């Protein structure tokens, strides 16, 4: 079929298998150009198909020649309907891994469920014995609790008072005001239940009970802090409470891993265009301005550059550099004072008329379409393309 982008709000409901493959190959080539980092031999990546998760899987496999198991929740293709991009990304990843003789298997399903945990553990037991690294990069709007069956929905709301600020519709470039009502009822608890640390801990507990973690095992989950500009809706909002919970969980997990000298970390990453971040109000405007400033200062990184730096310089250092909350900060360049000062100045000025000049709206849009395999120069989008691309390790 001829596959074109079809957007609905902040998502794209089609994706291009060849373009997704190009996206993966580009990331693999980046890692290969940097050389081996030899940090992990057997890694489990949860949320492994898009954004920071696929970048982590690529870095493990092509940076360290590690065996990888990836868990994700993606839509397979059906005749006449494309798969979700994370599906095609994973198919491309496995194809490239196989070419290099690397072990790579994937599990598609709800990582919050007992069933997927059991399935993953059975695979580790059968194929890898133990893992030495678990990357937790899951981003989801909902979670069904495996013990109670309660379905929680997360929210992206300020806490305490109504928040009004600028935002951009990145499709049209229109800068407008947005007002978000504060959280109410169980919004905070529900968001913590979805995006906090409970599920991360459940994974670690289950793996440890089954003796699937090696000595010196490490685990890392991803978090975000960001600037004052976005804090009402992000770090001091409902999602920020969930990130507080996630960050505190790292301490509990490290305690529980003492007998194997294991460690849990949270890495605070840079704001980047991913399927999850495009859904957060205000963030697309911030990212458009941030990209402009960071590109001008030659500081811009995408997911793969961020994760390679995390692996190469931080996570496996003899003394892991952390802030006073034990967090690894690869958002250091984003948070630099000179960067933030300029973004704040631009933020005040930003209007529909000037955004494409003072911000990097084009860069935002391009990254957005790239997530779904579109806008790659190497791909001819006018030719008939087979949408029925399967993931080799998944029976479909
Ligand atoms: P993403 O939307 O690109 O990736 C989410 C991943 O989770 C996908 O692999 C998806 O298949 C998987 N997933 C979702 N629900 C699932 C479920 N029920 N079971 C199994 N897998 C499931 O998101 P992104 O942005 O890469 O986020 C990953 C982490 O990085 C999140 O914790 C996020 O808060 C954090 N982060 C993101 C930043 C950003 O600007 N995008 C900045 C800093 C941190």
Number of Cβ atoms within 10 Å of the Cβ of 165: 18
Q: Is the CB of 53 under 6 A from ligand 1?
A: yes
pLDDT at 117 over 80: yes
Our answer on whether the CB atom of 108 is closer than 6 Å to any ligand 1 atom is no
**Helix (H) / strand (E) containing 243:** helix 238-256
Residues marked active site are found at: 234
In this predicted structure, the answer to whether residue 127 has a pLDDT above a threshold of 90 is: yes
Q: Hey, what's the torsion of the CAs at 133, 137, 142, 144, to 10 degrees?
A: 0
Could you tell me if the CB of 120 is within 6 A of ligand 1?
A: no
Q: Provide the CB-side half-sphere exposure for 356 (13 A, CA).
A: 10
Q: Is the pLDDT of residue 372 over 80?
A: yes
Contact 73 CB / ligand 1 (< 6 Å) = yes
CA–centroid distance, 139 to ligand 1, in Å, is 3
Q: What mean pLDDT is reported for the chain?
A: 96
Q: Which atom of ligand 1 is nearest to the CA of 111?
A: 19
- Taking Cα atoms as reference points, which of 94, 74, 126, 49 lies closest to residue 392? 94
Residue 318: predicted pLDDT: 92
Cα(240) to centroid(ligand 1), Å: 15
Structure tokens at 201: 């801990």
H or E element, residue 294: helix 283-296
In degrees and rounded to multiples of 5, residue 118 shows phi and psi of: -60, -45
pLDDT at 193: 98
Is ligand 1 within 6 A of the CB of residue 112? yes
Strand ranges, E, within 53-208: 67-72, 104-108, 131-136, 142-144, 151-153, 163-169, 174-180
pTM exceeds 0.85 for this model: yes
Counting ligand 1 atoms within 8 A of each CB, the residue from 47, 304, 305, 364 with the most, and so the one to mutate, is 47
The whole-angstrom separation of Cα 322 and Cα 266 is 9
Helix (H) or strand (E) holding 189: helix 187-195
- Say yes or no to pLDDT of 396 above 70: no
pLDDT tens, residue by residue, 189-215: 999 999 999 999 999 999 999 999 999
Atom of ligand 1 nearest to the CA of 48: 9
Which positions ≥6 away from 303 have C-beta within 8 Å? 27, 51, 52, 54, 55, 272, 274
Give the pLDDT of residue 13: 96
Q: Is 51 in the pocket of ligand 1 (CB under 6 A)?
A: yes
> Ligand 1, residues 10, 138, 151: which to mutate, most atoms within 8 A of Cβ?
138
Q: What angle do CA 269, 267, 45 make, to 5 degrees?
A: 100
The four Cα atoms 156, 159, 161, 162 give a dihedral, to 10 degrees, of: 0
Distance in angstroms (rounded) separating the CA atoms of residues 347 and 34: 35
| pLDDT score for 336 | 98
Note whether 45 and 53 are within 8 A (CB): yes
How far is 264 from 254, CA to CA, in rounded Å? 5
Residue range 314-319: mean pLDDT, rounded:
94
Please answer whether residues 327 and 265 qualify as being in contact, where contact means their C-beta atoms are separated by less than 8 angstroms: yes
Q: Is the CB of 276 under 6 A from ligand 1?
A: yes
Q: Tell the residue nearest (CA) to atom 15 of ligand 1.
A: 140
Whole-number Å distance between alpha carbons of 371 and 284: 15
If pLDDT is split at 50, 70 and 90, which confidence band does 9 have? Answer: confident
């Amino acid at each position: 079929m001829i596959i074109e982008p079809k957007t609905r709000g902040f998502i794209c409901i089609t994706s291009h298998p060849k373009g997704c493959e190009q996206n993966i190959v580009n990331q693999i080539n980046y890692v290969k150009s940097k050389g081996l980092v030899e940090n992990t031999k057997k890694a489990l990546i949860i949320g492994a198909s898009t954004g920071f998760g696929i970048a982590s899987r690529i870095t493990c496999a092509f940076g360290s020649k590690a065996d990888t198991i990836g868990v994700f929740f993606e839509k397979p293709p059906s005749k006449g309907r494309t798969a979700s991009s994370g599906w095609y990304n994973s198919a491309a990843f496995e194809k490239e891994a196989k070419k290099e003789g690397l072990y790579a298997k994937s599990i598609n399903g709800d990582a919050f469920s007992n069933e997927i945990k059991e399935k993953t553990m059975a695979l580790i037991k059968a194929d890898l014995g133990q893992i030495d690294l678990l990357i937790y990069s899951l981003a989801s709007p909902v979670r069904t609790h495996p013990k109670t069956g309660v379905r929680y929905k997360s929210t992206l709301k300020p806490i305490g008072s109504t928040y009004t600020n600028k935002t951009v519709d990145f499709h049209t470039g229109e800068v407008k005001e947005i007002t978000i009502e504060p959280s109410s009822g169980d919004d905070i608890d529900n968001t913590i239940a979805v995006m906090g640390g409970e599920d991360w801990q459940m994974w670690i507990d289950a793996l440890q009970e089954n003796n699937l973690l090696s000595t010196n095992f490490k685990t890392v989950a991803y978090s975000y802090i960001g600037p004052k500009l976005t804090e009402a809706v992000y770090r001091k909002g409902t999602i920020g409470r969930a990130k507080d919970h996630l960050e505190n969980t790292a301490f509990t997990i490290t305690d529980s891993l003492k007998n194997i000298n294991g460690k849990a970390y949270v890495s605070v990453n840079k704001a980047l265009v991913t399927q999850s971040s495009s859904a957060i109000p205000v963030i697309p405007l911030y990212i458009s301005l941030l990209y402009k400033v960071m590109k001008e200062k030659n500081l811009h990184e995408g997911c793969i550059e961020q994760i390679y730096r995390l692996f190469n310089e931080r996570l496996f250092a003899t003394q892991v550099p952390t802030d006073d909350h034990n967090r690894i900060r690869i958002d250091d360049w984003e948070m630099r004072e000179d960067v933030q000062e300029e973004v704040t100045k631009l933020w005040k000025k930003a209007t529909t008329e000037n955004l494409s000049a003072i911000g990097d709206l084009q860069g935002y849009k391009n990254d957005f379409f790239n997530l779904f395999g579109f806008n790659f120069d190497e791909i001819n989008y006018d030719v008939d393309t087979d949408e029925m691309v399967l993931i080799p390790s998944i029976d479909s």
